[in-house]
Amino acid sequence: MRSWTGPAVAPVAGSAQPLRLHDTSTQVVRPVPRGGTVGLYVCGITPYDTTHLGHAATYVTFDLINRLLLDAGEQVHYVQNITDVDDPLFERAARDGVDWRELGTAEVASFRKDMEALSILPPRDYVGAIESVDEVVEMVGQLLENGSAYQLTEHDSPDGYEDVYFRHDASGNFGYESNYPVDVMNEFFAERGGDPDREGKRHPLDALVWRAARPGEPSWHAPWGDGRPGWHIECSAIARNRLGMGFAIQGGGDDLIFPHHEFSAAHAEAAGGGGRFAQLYVHTGMIGLDGVKMSKSLGNLVRVRELVAEGIDPAAIRVGLYVGHYRSARSWSAEILEEAQARLALWRGAISAAEPAPAAPAIELVRAALADDLDTPTALRHVDAWARVTNGVDSVTGGDDAAGTGRAVPRTEDGAEMASALINLMGVGV
């Protein structure tokens, strides 16, 4: 699938610090492995009702990681999927009387525009489930062959459909990614797309890897019977085939910790190839609206394209999302956006001031905060402090905005250096 168009990234004066991130599997903040190419896989959208601010927060977080790795001189191979074959998409298409493929295509087009508006660097590989069915067929074949998966038969499947299931413990390391106790696994499995009560399965937690063709559902050919991919194996196959086993970072929202990332890892590990799926599992907290989780099913969405259509500066959306730490569950509100706009005005005033405070020490502090598991709240405070010193305590000048564009025009090297740090490290265009 075509990715989107990304802004060019320029080097920032000074030097980067090695990035450390919280890893869900070991539950500690660890250095991101360096050297060679850093493999980054981030779970992409299911293309309906995008892009809400929860999605935006997740992709902004991984964009920040991508930018910090680039700043540290690393080569990054960024892969993202699109779950363009899945029940929620079919249900929405049926509800709205549109073809599910057309809905997916339109939503991906709108997602690309939103990513561009937010200055998010594009993945090198942007891969849909439809495009990767052959890869899933290959992996399911490997799992069937080595006994990690089994197919229901006419005899043990009550509805006669010969679906293929993964033995949940086939990798020998089940549970290492989430560390969840079994009662939590059971609860999340049932809530998040699993089918614990499906008769014929050998264990309630066994996960679907190939759903046999049903009337009215799309299907593809496989040697054991036509059907379509299960959800987790889509990400296993797309990631393994492009990044290899043991790639650096598997990422997504923390609603994906279990079952999705546990099984994505277990499928690939059981299929062979050796070692762990990913070295670090990085998860973002859920964004809510005024205290309630923002989700497509609840319908309490604030969409990026609606804010952009209202004339909201996308840089203010990023700054608003940076106000909280990426791992914390947090709420979006009109006040957060207003404060972010005021902050940008403060920064722009300083950037276009005649005599800004020296930028280098402030940029060093920003880099140190970001390298420490993306401490964006602290990073923002360092930029504020620099801007306040420049503007004079508590006197916000409002910026040099002669053209009325909202963009600051740096007059000095220090102003230009800070502007460069904000756009290149944090994707915040001033």
CA distance linking residue 309 with residue 221, whole number of Å: 43
Per-residue contact string for residues 400-419; x = within reach of ligand 5CA by CB under 6 A:
--------------------
Q: Using the minimum distance from each CB to ligand 5CA, give the nearer residue, 185 or 282.
A: 282
Judged by beta carbon, residue 12 or residue 129, the one nearer ligand 5CA is: 129
Which residues have C-beta within 8 Å of that of residue 297, sequence separation ≥ 6? none
Secondary structure (H, E, C), 241-294: HHHCCCEEEEEEEHHHHHHHHHHHHHHHHHHCCCCCCEEEEEEECCEEECCEEC
- If the CB atoms of residues 76 and 286 are measured against ligand 5CA, the closer one turns out to be 286
DSSP characters over 136-181 = HHHHHHHHHHTTSEEE--TTT-TTS---EEE-TTTTS-TTTTT---
Burial class (CB in 10 A: 0-12, 13-18, 19+), 115: buried
Query: Residue 211 belongs to what H/E stretch?
Result: strand 207-212
Q: Specify the stretch interacting with ligand 5CA by CB under 6 A; choose among 42-50, 163-171, 268-276, 339-347.
A: 42-50
Chosen residue from 143, 235, 307, 419 binding Zn ion by CB under 5 A: 235
Cβ of 260: how many Cβ atoms within 10 Å? 25
CB-nearer residue toward ligand 5CA: 85 or 346: 85
Which partner, ligand 5CA, Zn ion, none, binds residue 294 by CB below 5 to 8 Å per kind? ligand 5CA
Residue nearest to Zn ion (CB): 43
For ligand 5CA, the closer of residues 41 and 150 by Cβ is 41
Find the helix or strand (DSSP H, E) in which 379 lies. Answer: helix 376-391
d(CA 226, CA 211): 8
In the chain, % helix, strand, coil (3-state, to 5) comes to 40, 15, 45
Tell me the one-letter amino acid at 247: F
Lay out the sheet containing 292-293: strands in order across. Answer: 292-293, 287-289, 330-332
* Residue selected from 101, 293, 303, 325 as contacting ligand 5CA according to rule CB under 6 A: 293
Taking CB within 5 to 8 Å according to partner kind, which of ligand 5CA, Zn ion, none is near residue 70?
A: none
Task: Considering the complex, state which of residue 185 and residue 430 has its C-beta at the smaller distance from ligand 5CA.
Answer: 185
Residue (254 or 364) nearer to Zn ion, CB: 254
Under rule CB under 6 A, which residues in 226-285 are in contact with ligand 5CA? 235, 252-253, 255-256, 284
The site string for ligand 5CA over 43-82 (x = CB under 6 A, - otherwise) reads xxxx-------xx-xx----------------------x-
**Looking at 170-178, 265-273, 290-298, 415-423, which segment touches ligand 5CA (CB under 6 A)?**
290-298
Shortest Cβ distance from residue 297 to Zn ion (Å)? 18
Instruction: Specify the residue for token string 């980067």.
Output: 16
Q: Which is nearer to Zn ion, 168 or 261 (CB)?
A: 261
Please work out the total of residues on this chain that contact ligand 5CA, with binding judged by CB under 6 A.
21
In three-state secondary structure terms, 62 is: helix
Among 239, 294, 315, 319, binds ligand 5CA (CB under 6 A): 294
Among 38, 42, 43, 357, binds Zn ion (CB under 5 A): 43
Question: Interface with Zn ion includes 237 (CB under 5 A)?
Answer: no
Residues 202-231 that bind Zn ion (CB under 5 A): none
* Residue 367 tokens, joined: 């880099």
Amino acid (1-letter code) at residue 157: S
Q: Which does 128 bind (CB under 5 to 8 A by kind): ligand 5CA, Zn ion, none?
A: none
Of 43 and 270, nearer to ligand 5CA (C-beta) is 43
Please state the closest distance from residue 10 (CB atom) to Zn ion, in A: 32
For residue 423, the minimal CB distance to ligand 5CA (Å) is 24
414: nearest Cα among 389, 379, 394, 393 = 389
In order of 65, 162, 389, 428, the CA distances from 76 in angstroms are 10, 40, 36, 20
Q: Which residue has the tokens 């935006």?
A: 56
Say how far apart CA 120 and CA 42 lie, in whole Å.
Answer: 13
Beta carbon of residue 235, minimum distance to Zn ion (angstroms, whole number): 4
CA 271 to chain centre: 25
**C-alpha–C-alpha distance, residues 428 and 430, integer Å:** 6
54 binds, among Zn ion, ligand 5CA, none (CB under 5 to 8 A by kind): ligand 5CA
Q: How far is the CB of 387 from ligand 5CA (least distance, A)?
A: 29
Q: Which one, 43 or 248, has the nearer CB to Zn ion?
A: 43
Distance CA(120)–CA(164), nearest Å, equals 37
- Applying CB under 6 A, the residues found at the interface with ligand 5CA are 43-46, 54-55, 57-58, 81, 83, 235, 252-253, 255-256, 284, 286-287, 293-295
- Applying CB under 5 A, the residues found at the interface with Zn ion are 43, 235
